[in-house]
């Protein structure tokens, strides 16, 4: 279970995962050793799984992003999921209810690259059909 100090620590890391232990300690008014200990406990307990890169707006504004609905042959779902996981341009894959089985979030450097990726997805063993929606503009993201 996490306490209020852990919540504050997590909030600081969300805004800057590269913050030093010293900076975190100062912000939380705690000792360096206390912050280091809390981080280790959060990592060991699985609350913090890892640290990631957050891209800048300039880079993101150049990306072409699409949501790809994917219908999969049921007996090949696991194999298809593994193949999709290995495609580096897929940033997220969600299981969904309805006509399609999954939605993949695809990021590409150009429309040409997106077209190739969509063909690659459609040609995977187990994929029955896809339906793609290119993201034109992000109104907001939380």
Q: What is the pLDDT along the chain (142 residues), one digit of tens a residue?
A: 789 899 999 999 988 889 999 999 999 999 999 999 999 999 999 999 988 888 888 888 889 999 999 999 999 999 999 999 999 999 999 999 999 999 999 999 999 999 999 999 999 999 999 999 999 988 987 7
The pair of structure tokens assigned to 18 is: 């590269």
Q: Are strands 127-135 and 90-95 parallel, antiparallel or unpaired?
A: unpaired
Position 51 scores a pLDDT of: 86
- Backbone phi and psi for residue 41, each to the nearest 5 degrees, phi listed first: -65, -40
Based on the domain organization, do 79 and 117 belong to the same domain?
A: yes
- For residues 30 and 76, state if they share a domain: no
Same domain for 31 and 75:
no
Output the pLDDT for position 61: 83
DSSP state of 138: -
Q: In angstroms, what is the C-alpha Rg of the chain?
A: 20
Q: What is the pLDDT of residue 142?
A: 74
- Does this model's pTM top 0.75? My answer is no
Residue-number span of the structural domain to which 119 is assigned: 57-135
Looking at the structure, tell me whether residues 76 and 131 fall in a common domain.
yes
Q: In what order do the strands lie in the sheet with 90-95?
A: 90-95, 102-108, 64-72, 127-135
Residue 20: its pLDDT value, please? 95
Task: Give a yes or no: residue 80 inside a domain.
Answer: yes
pLDDT, tens only, 16-30: 889 999 999 999 999
Quick check: is 141 in a domain?
no
For the chain, what is the domain count? 2
Reported as a single tens digit per residue, the pLDDT across 102-118 is: 999 999 999 999 999 99
């Amino acid at each position: 279970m996490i306490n209020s100090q852990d919540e504050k620590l997590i909030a600081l890391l969300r805004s800057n995962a590269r913050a030093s232990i010293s900076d975190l300690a100062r912000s939380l008014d705690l000792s360096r050793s206390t912050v280091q200990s809390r981080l280790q406990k959060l990592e060991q307990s699985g609350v913090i799984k890892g640290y990631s890169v957050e891209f800048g707006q300039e880079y993101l504004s150049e990306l072409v992003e699409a949501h790809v609905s994917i219908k999969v042959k049921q007996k090949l779902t696991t194999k298809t999921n593994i193949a999709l996981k290995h495609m580096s341009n897929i940033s997220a894959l969600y299981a969904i209810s309805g006509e399609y089985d999954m939605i993949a979030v695809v990021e590409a450097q150009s429309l040409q690259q997106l077209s190739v990726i969509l063909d690659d997805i459609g040609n995977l063993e187990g994929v029955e059909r896809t339906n793609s929606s290119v993201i034109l503009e992000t109104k907001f993201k939380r």
